[in-house]
Amino acid sequence: MSGEAARAYPRALDVGGRAVTLRHMGPADRAAVLAFARALPAHDLLFLPLDITRPEAVDAWLGGIARGEVTTLVAEGAGAVLASATIDRGELDWSSHVADLRVIVAAEARGKGLGRSLTQEAFALALSLGIEKIVARMTVDQQGARAVFEGMGFRPEALLRDHVRDRDGKKHDLLILSHEVARFQAQMTAYGVSEALGGGEGGSAPDPRRAPGS
């Protein structure tokens, strides 16, 4: 059984008293994902490689999932997509040990812990897939997202000035954070808690800031 298969989905979550289902994204989600993307503030899309408000971009996203290059989890509530977390392993042979982690949360679902829960789940899934390094990208003013990632042990690696341009032509700096997953996994193994990284049914990733028992 692959590491991905070892994690059980769909999975029920309680987010601020709201029932949310966490599951894999598939072709049947095309319309719901488009609706989700088009409801997001445009600025929230600047760290993504594609403008997912366009149908052809969502089709490319689904194509990456079909080829096994991309794994996406969606959080669904009342029939609507509330958030997504994507692990993108890309196509480069030389960087097959590295994955981009992209987490997007609908405005209505923010401030309730969904983004953190989804990020932790995606982190654990990346561990189970054997990823050695995870990279996250965001504009410098996305302070909430930065706090979530830094809270999980991600650290700034690069700042690309004027790297993205919004629909009004304004340029924004792009911040790149990274996490050395292999080093973290080795640390957890040394503490004797490596089984927690497998996730299993109902599992979640441990907080990389805290040693076991702290």
CATH number at residue 144: 3.40.630.30
Residue with the bigger pLDDT between 129 and 65: it is 65
In a domain, 201, yes or no: no
Q: What is the mean pLDDT of residues 178-196?
A: 61
- Is 23 strand, coil or helix? strand
Rounded to 5 degrees, what angle do the CA atoms 21, 97, 29 make? 25
Q: Please check whether residue 173 lies inside any domain of the structure.
A: yes
Distance CA 14, CA 67 (A): 32
Q: pLDDT over 70 for what percent of the chain?
A: 80
Report residue 39: phi and psi, to 5°. Answer: -90, -10
CA dihedral 51, 53, 59, 60 (to 10 degrees): 10
Residue 200 lies in a domain: no
Q: What is the number of domains present in the chain?
A: 1
Whether 198 is in a domain gets the answer no
* Bridging pattern class, strands 98-105 and 133-139: parallel
C-alpha distances in angstroms, 145 versus 23, 45, 51, 82, 100? 22, 13, 19, 16, 15
Q: Is the pLDDT at 201 greater than 70, yes or no?
A: no
Whether 128 maps to a domain, the answer reads yes
pLDDT digits (tens, 9 = 90+) for 141-160: 888 888 888 888 899 999 99
* pLDDT in the model for residue 213: 30
Q: Are 50 and 57 in contact (CB under 8 A)?
A: yes
Q: Which residues contact 165 (CB under 8 A, 6 or more apart)?
A: 171, 172
Is residue 207 a part of any domain in this protein? no
Give a yes or no: residue 107 inside a domain.
Answer: yes
**In this structure, what token pair is assigned to residue 96?**
């097959």
Computed from CA positions of residues 176, 182, 183, 185, in that sequence, does the dihedral angle turn out positive or negative?
A: positive
Domain that includes residue 80, residue range: 3-193
Q: Is 203 within the bounds of a domain? A: no
Does the pTM of the predicted model rise above 0.85?
no
- pLDDT value of position 111: 87
